[in-house]
Amino acid sequence: MRPNRRKILQGMVAGIGATLGNSLVPNLGLSSPKVGGSPKRVIFFMQNQGFDPATAIPSGMKNSSSLAKTKLPEPIEALEPFKERMHIINGLHGMHTSPSHSPFFGALGGYRGGDGVAPSDSTIDYELSKVLPETLLPHLCIGMDSIENMRAKPTVANLSASGAGQPIFMHSNPNHLYEMLYGGISDGDIRKQHEARSSMFDRIELLARAKGSKLPETDKPRYDQFVQGFNDINGLRERLGSVSGHLRKFAPEVDEGYSNPEFETDWHDRILDLGISALKSGITSVLTIGSGRGEIFGAWKGLGIEQQGHNLGHMKQPNNPIWVKIRQYNSRMLVKLMEELDSVPEGSGTMMDNTLIVYTSNNADSQHTSGKNWPVILLGNYDGAFKTGCFTQLDGKRPINALYASILRASGVECERFNMTDRMAAQFDSGTGPLKEILA
């Protein structure tokens, strides 16, 4: 019953930025450090148009070894100070996802996908949100695109899913997301908008309950799901309001970049700030970031790049000044994520000590690709679960699913395969279980 209700809810509220993703309103509160252990969190940073290995692997490095005496390539040089917390992985594949322009949900699901193809199963970010300490909003998905696309379609569903045919929407308009997360503690227009929408949702729920009693018995179950969807929205708003004193410490400052962005990168930066605040405040434990929103589009005019969209994918990435700028921008975002989480004490260390960042592309190594090679960078050791400060070259015979199984294993879940049947594995996976090369 619940998954169907979620699907209906997401379809209803996608256009107003109120979709709740993988957990409508959990019964537990904010995630906080516990005696004898600290909560873990995972961040997926998915850039579009592919991830050429030459832009991530130090020059001349062909075999697995330490990164200590190497120099990172120019596109990711911002991460140089964090080499000891980095693990570059080359040689995973995703041929079974049929990536081409993008496998969409298949990138995080490890299954066949494509433009307009509904998810055939859940994705790894959703599965992690079920096993990590439960929070008010266990999974948050944010997306970055051209300013025109973010305004016209403030929510889209391309990367994450809670099950077959059940997409999770990502938020791209920082004003809408701010209002959802922090509207109850805001001032001015955001507060007015929050109160107006809350009042509207309350009225709709009450009206729907009253009208539903007159429906034929055969229609009531489906209508009850509709009503429950608004109940869940209202419940989330009430729960966020109940911890307003705590949230006030983490809410970003609202400036002109929200209401009057000059470039799309102004919104990119503020969407990232909201994602960081959701992690630091404990609202969420899993954050998925779609740079390009999992499609073939995307724009970075704020970096002085006039080209945008599909054409960017037809450009070679290595030594390309355009792609160097884009990748450096992404790398600075990763640095900001790490520095912000490092600033918050947790247990005997910081939040970053208990966090894993997975940086890759939703489209393997290039825009037009067979998925034969799917480079990945891991940042953080996830409370000592992953090896860091090294480069690992695999033989190309294990799929991205094995990486996802590894993250689940590090999260305490016994997982031999993720979204891969034995029959499929016989064709696409030379092994079973997690990747021993990357686990500590």
Average per-residue pLDDT in the chain?
84
The per-residue pLDDT for 246 is 80
Predicted local confidence at residue 137, as pLDDT? 85
Looking at residue 214, what is its pLDDT?
Answer: 58
pLDDT for 337-376, tens place per residue?
A: 999 999 999 999 999 999 999 999 999 999 889 999 999 9
339 located within any domain: yes
Q: CA-to-CA distance for 170 and 163, rounded, in angstroms?
A: 16
The pLDDT score that the predictor gives to residue 213 is 59
Q: 116: Cβ–Cβ under 8 A, 6 or more apart, which residues?
A: none
Is residue 303 included in any domain, yes or no? yes
Q: What's the pLDDT score for residue 191?
A: 55
Dihedral-angle region of residue 319 (phi above 0 means left; psi in -120 to 50 means alpha; beta otherwise): left
Q: What is the pLDDT of residue 260?
A: 95
What are the pLDDT digits (tens) for 225-270? Answer: 544 544 555 556 666 766 777 888 899 999 999 999 999 999 999 9
User: How many structural domains is the chain composed of?
Assistant: 1
95-109 pLDDT, tens digit each: 999 888 899 999 999
- 253, part of any domain: no
Question: Is the predicted pLDDT of residue 205 greater than 70, yes or no?
Answer: no
**Which residue type sits at 390?**
C
* pTM for this prediction: 0.85
> For the domain that residue 286 is a member of, what is the CATH number?
3.40.720
pLDDT in tens, 10-41: 333 332 232 333 333 333 333 433 333 578 99
Would you state the pLDDT for residue 181? 86
Closest CA to 152 of 297, 257, 7: 297
Per-residue pLDDT tens digits for 270-300: 999 999 999 999 999 999 999 999 998 899 9
Query: Quick one: angle between helices 264-281 and 174-182, nearest 10?
Result: 20
What average pLDDT does this structure show over 319-323? 95
Using one digit for the tens of pLDDT, what is the confidence trace for 152-191? 999 999 999 999 998 998 999 999 898 888 876 655 665 5
β-bridge mates for residue 360, sequence order: 46
Q: Output 20 or 48, whichever has higher pLDDT.
A: 48
Percentage helix, strand, coil, to 5, in the chain? 45, 15, 40
Distance separating alpha carbons of residues 350 and 367, to the nearest angstrom: 37
Indicate whether 407 belongs to any domain.
yes
Residue 63 has pLDDT above 90, yes or no: yes
> Would 157 be classed as within a structural domain?
yes
Structural domain contains residue 211: no
Cβ-in-10-Å burial (0-12, 13-18, 19+) of 372 comes to middle
* pLDDT(133) > 70: yes
389: in domain: yes
Parent domain of 342:
21-180+258-428
Confidence of residue 413 (pLDDT cuts 50, 70, 90): very high
User: What number of CA atoms fall less than 13 Å from residue 149's CA on the CB side?
Assistant: 23
Inter-axis angle of helices 400-410 and 124-131, nearest 10:
10
In a domain, 359, yes or no: yes
